[in-house]
Amino acid sequence: MGDAIVAPLADGSLYHTEETTRLVLYWCILWVVVHYLAWPLWHRRRVVGLMCSPTPVERYRRRLARSQVYCACAVVGGLRLLLGCRWSAQDLLYAYSAEHQVLFSMAVAHWLVSIWEDLHNWTFLRGGLSAKDTQNGGDPSYFLWQAYLVHHLVAAFAFGCALRMKVCTGLAAFGLIFELPVLYMNHREFIVYAENPVEWFQDIRQVELFWVTLTVWFRLARGGPTLVYLYSLIFWSEDLNRLSTKESWTYHGMAIFFSILNWGLASTFLTAWRKKDMDMAESCATKAKDFEEKFRQLLHPEDEAHVAEKEMKEEEQSIAEDLPEVVKKPLMQVTPELFASKVQGESGELWLEIDNVAYDLTEFIGKHPGGDQILRQFAGKDASKAFHKAKHSMKAKMQMQMYCVGPMMKELKEYRIFEHTNEVRTLSFSFMQVAALLAFACWLLPYSYYPSVRSLQATESFTARLLAPGLAFAAGTSTLLLPGRQRFNPSTWTCGAIYFAVCFTAILVGLELARRPVVTDAWPSGLEIGAVTIFVVEEVALHLGAEGWRYLYWRRIFLAAGLLLLSWNLRGATLDMVDHSPEHVMGGLLLGLGIPAICRLASSQNEVVMEQALQGLALTIFACLPWLLYLLMPEQDGLRTLALHAWANWTVNTLVMAIASSLCALVFVAMVLSEACASKPLASRSVAVMLSVAVGLRSGWSGWRWLAWLSWFALIGTLGQRHIAVLQSLQKSGKLGELPVQRIAVRSAWEMFYLVLGAMIWQVGQGLFKMLINGVMPQELQFYAPWLPFFELGEDVDVGVAAYYAPKEALKSKVGPHHFVCSVRHLDPSHAEGQRDLQLQQNTVRDMWLKCKDTTAGGLVANVNCFFPRLSGSTHCKEINLSGWVSADAADAWKKQHGSLPGGQGPNSRGQMRTMGSMEAILTPHGEIRHQDRCSSCARLSESATLGEKAPERCKFCGKKNFGYPFF
């Protein structure tokens, strides 16, 4: 059987389809045999028993052992295939040999056998996790079984496509390399499901090293192929364009699917498994019994149904009695209109505002110690001054949380970054919806009945060949709403309806023309011309306005236009396109003029716009059908011949695709028109952005297209700068609140885009630099770089770095800090002895920081150490240390054991500092500490009824868990 698997044909040719099928069958048989033999032979005990009558855990170990064999073979085979390729699209897309067939058949068989294995062992897939370790609280085994089932089917399908089509072989070879981190993950599961506690869990450094190594291999083996895919989109776009539709869908679909899958796996279950292992290792370092109990729970977790029942009981027991109705609802944002509607004088609801928060005191009437009249005096008003003037007790301040409705939404007078995330989320969701509809319409249109609409005349005219499919598309789309007979009455036709019909027809005809294949790949397509036309029309409309000259930015506009024209010229796009590719020129112009024009129809009167649109659809049918008949009908026996031809050439598939593409196009136009009701230029430019991004991703950077990309970035940057200038001008004049929220969201989205882009560049750069430097530095000089950059606050603001540590016991303790110690030290590194003093002090800080992790003395709640390497206006540096303790006695006991408190000067360096000045202060709270947590479900504040105690674990209003914030 082994010879049948690996031996190529005698003449060196590929295996035939039937032989490839037999290869998959042989591999399936082999993997089943390995499933039964690998673990017993490796275990070397109870071989027959492990093969014939294994326990459930042993059966899962058999699965792991077989998976290890496959992963090793896959990694070696994948490396062999990739090392035999040159760095070219030809090799990674089309290299195909008998060796590829053998390895890909092995992979198909592996994933099919894995489905069978997981079906019998799905309860162990959790890898030690329980319901409380997952975000949604569900059964991790069941969720992973579903996810693995989808993954295995898609993986087998992907390797099967590579075998069938003999392309995208580089993508499949990378799929073999994917199994490299699985070797480590299987090793971990062997440890998790061991019979006795493993020493590996008892060394936190080994656990941390394991996860660092696994993360590195995971990023290399699974992140590397994603980078290669992105590289191919930019530099191999011409080769990718030559793939057939099925090959293109396979290539892009598999790459995107597995990239998203890997990101999801890394951000969810890998993170949860790592946290679980670190908790195990830390519990071993503190309490041996706790470690043994946690290790036992890895094999036998608490029953999920029992956990859910226990969770429900805890929620019911946590909810307080006699709660007002308002507190049973989650917090919400209160608009001025909603707040004003709740003011009803002597009867009804009573709302008031305190510190920009709305409170519903309807059920508090009759309970206020000062009487109800004072409450009604401030009904619907801001009672902040009166509330603070009364100097309410802490109990009263805690009680008022039961009547909180939510924060007040004030009129926007000043733009502040990061405060418009909801608007950005709404705008992004709407943008993705419109983009998806446009993409589906363009994708389905070639497979529909519309492109096959042709003239039956003896000689097909140029006009019929150009416009007939688009007119059929417009007429078919308009009939979806089945307009009534009254809409065909000329007396009901309005200028707005006629205007909509013209624009709607232009858009759909232009879309059908623009999606056609380009005669020369280097020439701009109709979609690209349409996007450029929209941008040009909107620029002209802006500068023809009353204040358009104020935001001209003519240098940037001409730069973008020059780069685009240069790109088109170098790609051979001249006026000859009108003769050789008229469909794209006409389609781009119709699309680019129709979108801005239809957006101008929008207004704040939605009912009027809707009526004009419905009437316009009826007019579209009325205008397109006669025109179609004129272009298509033959000279003799016209209607009968046309009907017979239409009946003979349609199929169920083309009809379904026609209806689907028409539906997508209709909803696309409706959503664009709806967005235009808020901002006409924004809706129009959004479509241009969709078209340009789609064209750019499809065409890539090759063939001077990178100049078009530069032009696009220059134009988008100009639009962003202009938008910011407009908002700043409105803010100065106090009219920012009059601006539609979409305009605010655009600026916020623009800034978020730059933030994400800058953060990604920062993380890649600092991560690489940190890895290179720390690789050669000694352990004591390993440096830290933040994973996100910090704001530049100005030259007069000193920025440093802070480190925080809290013992695990303190995070869970209900005893808060009652004693604080703050120490401040200054050094002068410019002095001859300053550098030496700084180094000595850093050694002291390191030593004391390590001592903080010694929990034998107890009493430490948390410690924060801040270091500022430079102070403005001087050559000094500053160190600040703040530590919190359960009591002064606990701090004294810790000091006696370790020689000094955190941040204090250790005895080993006393008297050695030449340039250091210090200050130490003992801080004691003047009263009991008020600790507040917040509910993770209803977002209400949660605190103990007794001051000084930690907030409860669950919200007393809804029973859900709080975030669990520590004291300090």
Centroid of chain to Cα 501? 39
Taking Cα atoms as reference points, which of 856, 770, 748, 750 lies closest to residue 809? 856
Q: Does residue 807 carry a pLDDT above 50?
A: yes
DSSP states along 359-382:
EE-GGGTTT-TT-HHHHHHTTTSB
Query: Quick one: pLDDT band at residue 291, thresholds 50, 70, 90?
Result: low
In the prediction, which pLDDT does 900 show? 81
Query: Quick one: pLDDT band at residue 854, thresholds 50, 70, 90?
Result: confident
Q: Does residue 54 carry a pLDDT above 60?
A: yes
Q: What is the mean pLDDT of residues 545-572?
A: 84
User: From CA 433, how far away is CA 431, in angstroms rounded?
Assistant: 5
* 3-class SS of residue 177: helix
Partner residues linked to 805 by β-bridges: 863
- Reading the block at residue 571, the tokens are 């790609």
Choose the weakest-confidence range: 407-416, 643-652, 705-714, 798-807.
643-652
In the prediction, which pLDDT does 4 show? 34
Contact 940, 404 (CB under 8 A): yes
Residue with tokens 């409450």: 375
Please give the angle made by the CA atoms of 642, 646 and 650, to the nearest 5 degrees.
170
Taking Cα atoms as reference points, which of 182, 181, 188, 270 lies closest to residue 218? 181
The residue ranking higher by pLDDT, 612 or 566, is 566
> 475: which residues sit within 8 A by CB, 6+ positions away?
620, 621, 624, 625, 628
Q: How many residues does the chain have?
A: 968
In the prediction, which pLDDT does 11 show? 38
- Reading the block at residue 498, the tokens are 């006629």
Please give the angle made by the CA atoms of 190, 195 and 201, to the nearest 5 degrees.
60
User: From CA 629, how far away is CA 19, in angstroms rounded?
Assistant: 55
748-792 pLDDT, tens digit each: 888 888 888 888 788 778 777 887 888 788 877 777 777 777 777
**pLDDT > 70 fraction of the chain, expressed in percent and rounded:** 87
Q: CA dist 207 to 266, 278, 339, 851, Å?
A: 17, 7, 55, 22
347-356 pLDDT, tens digit each: 567 888 888 8
The residue ranking higher by pLDDT, 390 or 698, is 390
Choose the weakest-confidence range: 171-180, 278-287, 795-804, 909-918.
278-287
Helix (H) or strand (E) holding 556: helix 554-570
Q: Does residue 302 carry a pLDDT above 70?
A: no
In the prediction, which pLDDT does 343 show? 67
In the prediction, which pLDDT does 264 show? 84
Centroid of chain to Cα 829? 45
Strands 877-885 and 917-923: unpaired
| Beta strand residue intervals within 101-158, DSSP E | none
SS3 content of the chain, % helix, strand, coil (to 5): 65, 5, 30
In the prediction, which pLDDT does 559 show? 92
The residue ranking higher by pLDDT, 285 or 460, is 460
> 226: which residues sit within 8 A by CB, 6+ positions away?
255, 259, 262
Q: What is the mean pLDDT of residues 712-720?
A: 87
In the prediction, which pLDDT does 455 show? 63
In the prediction, which pLDDT does 592 show? 92
Choose the weakest-confidence range: 271-285, 377-391, 481-495, 831-845.
481-495
* 3-class SS of residue 97: coil
603-620 pLDDT, tens digit each: 777 777 888 888 888 888
In the prediction, which pLDDT does 116 show? 92
- Reading the block at residue 323, the tokens are 């709660």
**Average pLDDT over the chain, rounded to whole?**
81
In the prediction, which pLDDT does 648 show? 63
Query: Quick one: pLDDT band at residue 9, thresholds 50, 70, 90?
Result: very low
In the prediction, which pLDDT does 50 show? 66
Which residue type occupies 916?
M
Query: Quick one: pLDDT band at residue 2, thresholds 50, 70, 90?
Result: very low
In the prediction, which pLDDT does 649 show? 66
904-932 pLDDT, tens digit each: 765 544 456 788 888 889 888 887 788 88
User: From CA 198, how far away is CA 280, in angstroms rounded?
Assistant: 11
In the prediction, which pLDDT does 6 show? 35
The residue ranking higher by pLDDT, 551 or 119, is 119
Q: What is the DSSP letter of 815?
A: B
469-501 pLDDT, tens digit each: 888 888 888 888 766 666 666 666 788 888 888
In the prediction, which pLDDT does 859 show? 84
* 3-class SS of residue 351: strand
Q: What is the mean pLDDT of residues 287-313?
A: 58
Query: Quick one: pLDDT band at residue 74, thresholds 50, 70, 90?
Result: very high
pTM of the predicted protein model: 0.69
Starting from the edge strand earliest in sequence, which strands make up the sheet with 357-360, in order? 351-354, 357-360, 404-407
Ordered alpha helix ranges (H), 44-55: 47-52
Q: What is the mean pLDDT of residues 881-900?
A: 87
Q: What is the DSSP letter of 516?
A: S
User: From CA 24, how far away is CA 15, in angstroms rounded?
Assistant: 12
Starting from the edge strand earliest in sequence, which strands make up the sheet with 860-868, in order? 801-805, 860-868, 877-885, 819-827, 917-923
Q: Does residue 204 carry a pLDDT above 80?
A: no
The residue ranking higher by pLDDT, 318 or 384, is 384
Q: For 58, what's the count of Cα atoms within 13 Å in the CB-facing half-sphere?
A: 18
- Reading the block at residue 179, the tokens are 């199994």
Contact 52, 40 (CB under 8 A): no
- Reading the block at residue 788, the tokens are 């996100």
> 172: which residues sit within 8 A by CB, 6+ positions away?
100, 104, 107, 158, 159, 162
Which residue type occupies 595?
I
> 119: which residues sit within 8 A by CB, 6+ positions away?
none
Centroid of chain to Cα 208? 27
In the prediction, which pLDDT does 3 show? 35
The residue ranking higher by pLDDT, 957 or 525, is 525
Partner residues linked to 351 by β-bridges: 360
Which residue type occupies 155?
A
